Amino acid sequence: MEKFNPFKMAQQQFDQVADLLGLDTGTRDLLRVPMREYHFTIPVRMDDGGTKVFQGFRVQHNDARGPAKGGIRFHPNETVDTVRALATWMTWKCAVVGIPLGGGKGGVICDPHNLSDREQEQICRGWVRQVARNVGPLQDVPAPDVMTHGQHMLWMLDEYEKIMGAKFPGFITGKPVGMGGSLGRTEATGYGVMYTIREALKEHGVDLRSTTASFQGFGNVSQYAIELYQQYGGKAVAVSCWDQKDSKSYTFIRTAGVDLEELRAISDKYGSIDKDKAKKAGYEVADANAWIAQDVDILVPAALENQVNAETMGKITKRVKFVAEGANGPTTPEADALFKKNNIFVIPDFLANAGGVTCSYFEQVQCNMNYFWTKDEVLNKLDNIMTEAFHAVYDLARERKVYMRDAAYMIAISRVAEACRMRGWV
Ligand code: NAD
Tell me the whole-structure pTM to 2 decimals: 0.93
- Identify whether the C-beta of residue 189 lies closer than 8 Å to the C-beta of residue 355: yes
Is residue 423 scored above 70 in pLDDT?
A: yes
Q: Is the CB of 220 under 6 A from ligand 1?
A: yes
Q: Is the CB of 181 under 6 A from ligand 1?
A: no
For residues 354 and 97, what is the distance between their CA atoms, to the nearest angstrom? 7
Is residue 148 scored above 60 in pLDDT?
A: yes
- Identify whether the C-beta of residue 209 lies closer than 8 Å to the C-beta of residue 235: no
Is residue 354 scored above 70 in pLDDT?
A: yes
For residues 247 and 301, what is the distance between their CA atoms, to the nearest angstrom? 19
DSSP 8-state class, residue 234: -
Q: Is the CB of 294 under 6 A from ligand 1?
A: no
Looking at 69, 93, 105, 321, which residue is catalytic?
Answer: 105
- What pLDDT, on a 0 to 100 scale, did the predictor assign at position 2? 66
**222 CA distance to ligand 1 middle (Å):** 8
Q: Is the CB of 9 under 6 A from ligand 1?
A: no
If 0-12 CB within 10 Å is exposed, 13-18 middle and 19+ buried, where does residue 259 land? middle
Q: Mean pLDDT over all residues of the chain?
A: 96
- Identify whether the C-beta of residue 419 lies closer than 8 Å to the C-beta of residue 65: yes
Name the residue with the closest Cα to ligand 1, atom 43.
353
Percent of the chain with pLDDT strictly greater than 70: 100
**Cα-to-chain-centroid distance, residue 136:** 21
Cα 247–249–255 angle (5° rounding)?
Answer: 155
Dihedral over Cα of 114, 116, 117, 119: its sign: negative
105 is catalytic: yes
Name the residue with the closest Cα to ligand 1, atom 20.
241
**43 CA distance to ligand 1 middle (Å):** 27
pLDDT tens digit sequence for 255-291 = 999 999 999 999 998 899 999 999 999 999 999 999 9
**328 CA distance to ligand 1 middle (Å):** 9
Name the residue with the closest Cα to ligand 1, atom 2.
146
pLDDT tens digit sequence for 151-185 = 999 999 999 999 999 999 999 999 999 999 999 99
Q: Is the CB of 326 under 6 A from ligand 1?
A: yes
**279 CA distance to ligand 1 middle (Å):** 23
For residues 396 and 418, what is the distance between their CA atoms, to the nearest angstrom? 18
**304 CA distance to ligand 1 middle (Å):** 6
